[in-house]
Copies of this chain bind each other. A is one copy, B any other.
Amino acid sequence: MKNILGRDVPEFIEGYGKVKQYEGYLSNKSGSVKKDFYFKKLMKEESKLYKDFEKLMDVLPLKDGMVVSFHHHLRNGDYVLNMVMEEIYKRGYKDITLAASSIFPCHKNLVKMIENKVITQIYSAYISGPVAEAISDGKLNKPAIMHTHGGRARIFESGERNIDIAFIAAPTSDEYGNINGVDGKSACGALGYAHTDAELSNVVVAITDNLVQYPNTTIEINQTKIDYVLVVEEIGNPKGIVSGTTQITKNPIGLKVADLTAKFIEESGYLKNGMSFQTGAGGISLAVAAQLKNIMKLKEICGSFASGGITGYLVDMYKEGLFKALFDVQCFDLEAIKSAKENSAHITMSASMYANINNKGAVVDKLDVVILGATEIDTNFNVNVTTGSTGVIMGGSGGHSDTAAGSKLCIIVSQLVNSRISVVKDRVTTITTPGETVDILVTERGIAINPLRIDLIKKFKNSKLPIKTIDELREISKNMTGEEKNVQFLEKIVAVIEYRDGTVIDTIKKLKTF
């Protein structure tokens, strides 16, 4: 059947089950929490500490069909997921469900495990590299479930799925499992995505390369959640964990988009005392932050908070008094990590606090302005950040649709045409974020306001900014690119796009020619 966004989503998907259809971003009205398990108590004098990986694996309740989880704060420098999955593979377990908050190119070794049916299901908010390609090529036994960052917290907190064993990369830990991400040679900053895993898994293992004396004096996740502490040589490659610094785009087109965006925000009325703000680490997004910083300083505006993945740019704005607090679910660069350690109003938060639709109030619901990217956007403002122009998975929502839904003003920034490909499509390959939650598209050729935002259309009626309809932008781009070829798919569903409330907003099918 076609869902309300016009996407073909069957009522039942083999390997996924019965589908709850997407019915609008505000349709989910009651929440539930379910947490129900027995665990082995730590007896007095008993130790949690292991220094031998294989000995620890011997005592863990590994089994066929189990769900194992990982968080992605070590990003493309992560050693932990590979280390654990190689051992599970070596020991011959099968039919594993991998719940990894994100998967990167460094996790390429998972492909052989997918091919050999050791891993048969994957939950993730973002997948790029060889694993993404293997999924698009139909190699994974069941459809991958691509959720949002907030959706992941919801799935496990609501008891929709249970995690059997969580493996938590912990840049610093004491022997009792008080962990943080801000100290140690593999420091990665906030550990926001690991909270749900620690909170709700039957067995929780912290894996560290920096064991400190009890008690660790900076604690993000505490001892009451951790069953075992494993000490290894290295949990990750610092070069892959963080970039030294995140960079503002130098591309003049990108800078023009940023300039228009900042001007739009200024004129929109949202730029005022108490404003809250989120932007990603993309080059254009950072350029918007840099422009806003100047405007805020000039106008002596003090915002309330900046949130999300935190970068040095946001830290600078905080330090200059432009934001009262930073809500941090993951740090993108060294400046952010340093600040998370030093500044008491740089507050680390769980993914649930950040973006879960299913709790008593997430930070995204207090967001005024969010700046997001897009691979594609259609003329109904539906956005794709999951699949690339070739139809292959190359990302995923992360917090994209969470922040779009929560914020008062969601702005997509993009070059209109890049390498002869238009960002505006008649139809996007995959819907990641529903158009009803997206307010503005800013491109170098003009700014389109979602017709649902009658208030903004009225407000910008006499603006000197290049306001256009999204259909006009579509026409302009068509003239620049000519007709684009549609990607050809087969019938087999290789991934299910779950909206943050657990409904299915779209599916991804196997590519005809890979």
Contacts and interface: CB of A to CB of B under 8 A. Distances in A.
Given A213-B304, A226-B361, A34 B31 contact: no
A204 interface: yes
A347 B304 contact: no
Interface in A335-361: 344-345, 347, 349-350, 352-353, 356-361
Nearest to A40: B30
Interface in A11-61: 26, 28-44, 48
Nearest to A304: B214
A345 B224 CA distance: 18
Nearest to A359: B224
Interface in A131-174: 159
B30 A365 contact: no
A308 to B, nearest CB: 14
Contact of A366 (B39, B214, B222, B226): B214
Interface in A220-266: 222-227
A277 interface: no
Contact of A215 (B31, B226, B347): B347
A33 B199 CA distance: 10
A446 interface: no
A36 to B, nearest CB: 5
Contacts of A304: 213-215
Given A44-B406, A325-B217, A353-B222, A176 B366 contact: yes
A274 to B, nearest CB: 7
Contacts of A360: 39, 41-42, 48, 177, 204, 223-227
Nearest to A225: B360
A348 to B, nearest CB: 10
Given A36-B36, A176-B361, A29 B41 contact: yes
A305 B345 CA distance: 25
A77 to B, nearest CB: 27
A324 B215 contact: yes
Nearest to A327: B215
Interface in A59-92: none
A503 interface: no
Contacts of A344: 217-218, 344
Specify which of A31, A217, A219, A363 lies most central, judged by the most chain B CB atoms within 10 Å of its CB. A217
Contacts of A176: 361, 366
Contacts of A30: 38-41
A34 B32 contact: no
A362 interface: yes
Nearest to A217: B345
A29 B28 CA distance: 40
A345 B222 CA distance: 14
A227 B159 CA distance: 21
Contacts of A26: 43-44
A349 B26 CA distance: 36
Specify which of A33, A39, A41, A325 lies most central, judged by the most chain B CB atoms within 10 Å of its CB. A41
A361 B179 CA distance: 14
A223 B359 CA distance: 9
A362 B224 contact: yes
Contacts of A213: 274, 304, 324
B325 A215 contact: yes
A361 B35 contact: no
Nearest to A42: B361
A22 B226 CA distance: 28
A216 to B, nearest CB: 9
A356 B224 contact: yes
A248 to B, nearest CB: 27
A18 to B, nearest CB: 20
A119 B210 CA distance: 52
A371 to B, nearest CB: 19
Contacts of A36: 32-36, 159
B349 A222 contact: yes
20 contacts: A26-B43, A28-B41, A29-B43, A30-B40, A31-B38, A31-B41, A33-B35, A33-B37, A41-B359, A42-B361, A48-B361, A213-B324, A215-B327, A215-B366, A217-B325, A217-B344, A224-B350, A224-B353, A224-B362, A225-B359
Shortest 4 CB-CB contacts between residues of A and residues of B: A35-B35, A217-B345, A224-B359, A31-B41
Given A31-B40, A39-B360, 9 more contacts: A31-B38, A32-B39, A33-B35, A35-B35, A36-B36, A41-B360, A48-B360, A176-B366, A223-B361
